[in-house]
């Protein structure tokens, strides 16, 4: 049987084989379309993030990989140098776990829980959070690191507003956010409000979770074999390092 190749229709309705350069450019075009679609999805619909710190424990753990819905809050279109956004379905609400650009360094992404939105008043009394005078309960998997029977840090102490904070009104188009690990979180209590325009998306689901292991070999470019050692170690200990019970867990 003669060897076949990809063909295109000619003006006469017949087909002729694509030449080498034509096949190459056809491949380039297909890859370009795929990359553009991937970029649009990543920028405008869903994006993956990794949790690097324990500020959201035990809702999110170090090594969790999550997917965020960027479409819900009106995602930015992938057009360079132009800040155009799709219409939002709704604004962030108290209780949402949101990803946003850190106001003091927009190159860094943070993830926290929205406690209050523009126009609401937030106050903290002996670790308890009140919004518009109503007590906001600690999330189901939230926690305090220090026992509640220890003295609380007063406002203005070296811990700033961690345990006690006078009532503040959230400005319009802004959020007040806190970590679920209330005693180990850098959040709005310390550096202020999050502008609405900094919000990137709402955390949806943990799609992968990788447990830290202090025994895992360190890698360095000075010892190329260290990368092979690390891969081998992770392959052997793969079943123990994956947090199987967290896979595909909704984030609430």
Point out the residues that are catalytic.
55, 112
- The 8 Å CB, 24+ separation contacts for 191-197 are 191/103, 191/104, 192/103, 193/103, 194/98, 194/100, 194/103, 195/103, 196/91, 196/92, 196/118, 197/173
Separation of alpha carbons 44 and 86, rounded Å: 8
CA 43 from chain center: how many Å?
Answer: 13
Q: Say if residues 98 and 115 touch (Cβ distance below 8 Å).
A: no
Separation of alpha carbons 36 and 186, rounded Å: 36
3-state class (DSSP) for residue 81: coil
**Residue located via tokens 């992770």:** 234
The helix (H) or strand (E) run that includes residue 240 is helix 238-241
């Amino acid at each position: 049987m003669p060897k076949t190749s990809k063909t295109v229709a000619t003006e006469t309705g017949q087909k002729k084989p694509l030449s080498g350069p034509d096949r190459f450019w056809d491949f380039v075009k297909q890859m370009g379309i795929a990359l553009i679609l991937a970029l649009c999805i990543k920028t405008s619909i869903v994006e993956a993030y990794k949790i690097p710190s324990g500020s959201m424990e035990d809702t999110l753990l170090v090594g969790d990989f999550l997917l965020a819905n960027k479409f819900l809050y009106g995602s930015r279109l992938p057009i360079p140098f132009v800040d155009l956004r799709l219409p939002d379905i709704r604004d962030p609400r108290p209780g949402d776990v949101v990803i946003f650009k850190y106001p003091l360094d927009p190159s860094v992404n943070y993830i926290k829980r929205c406690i209050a939105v523009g126009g609401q008043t937030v106050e903290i009394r002996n670790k308890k959070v009140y919004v518009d005078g109503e007590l906001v309960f600690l999330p189901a998997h939230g926690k305090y690191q220090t026992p509640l029977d220890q003295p609380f840090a007063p406002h203005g102490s070296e811990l700033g507003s961690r345990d006690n904070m006078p009532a503040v009104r959230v400005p319009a188009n802004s959020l007040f956010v806190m970590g679920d690990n209330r005693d180990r979180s850098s959040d709005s209590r310390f550096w202020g409000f999050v502008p609405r325009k900094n919000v990137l998306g709402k955390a949806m689901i943990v799609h992968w979770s990788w447990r830290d292991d202090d025994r895992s070999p360190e890698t360095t470019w000075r010892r190329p074999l260290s990368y092979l050692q690390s891969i081998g170690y992770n392959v052997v200990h793969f079943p123990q390092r994956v947090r199987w019970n967290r896979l595909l867990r909704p984030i609430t």
